[in-house]
Amino acid sequence: MHETTDVGTMTAGLAVGVTRSAQDSGMAKLTPLHRETVDGMPPADDVEVRVLDAVLLPGDVTPRHSHRHPVTVYVLEGTFTLDLDGRDPVSIETGQVFVEPSGVAMTGRNRGEVPARTLLFYVCRPGEPFADPAPAAG
Q: Helix H segments across 1-138?
A: 7-11
Give mean pLDDT, residues 6-10: 56
Percentage of the chain beyond pLDDT 90 is 70
Q: Where are the domains of the chain?
A: 1-37, 39-133
Give mean pLDDT, residues 52-80: 97
Q: What is the CA radius of gyration of the chain?
A: 17
Q: Is the pLDDT of residue 76 over 50?
A: yes
HSE-CB of 13 using CA atoms within 13 angstroms: 1
Mean pLDDT across the chain: 87
* Residues 6 and 32 sit within 8 Å (Cβ to Cβ): yes
Identify the band that residue 2 occupies on the pLDDT scale cut at 50, 70 and 90.
very low
Q: Are strands 79-84 and 48-56 parallel, antiparallel or unpaired?
A: unpaired
Q: How far is the C-alpha of 126 from the C-alpha of 136, rounded, in Å?
A: 28
Who wins on pLDDT, 16 or 112?
112
pLDDT in tens, 80-136: 999 999 999 999 999 999 999 999 999 999 999 999 999 999 999 999 999 999 998
Cα distances from 26 to residues 16, 53, 136, in angstroms, run 11, 31, 54
Task: Output the pTM of the full model.
Answer: 0.81
Element (H, E) at 81: strand 79-84
Fold of the domain built from segment(s) 39-133: Jelly Rolls (2.60.120)
Q: So what's the pLDDT on residue 115?
A: 98
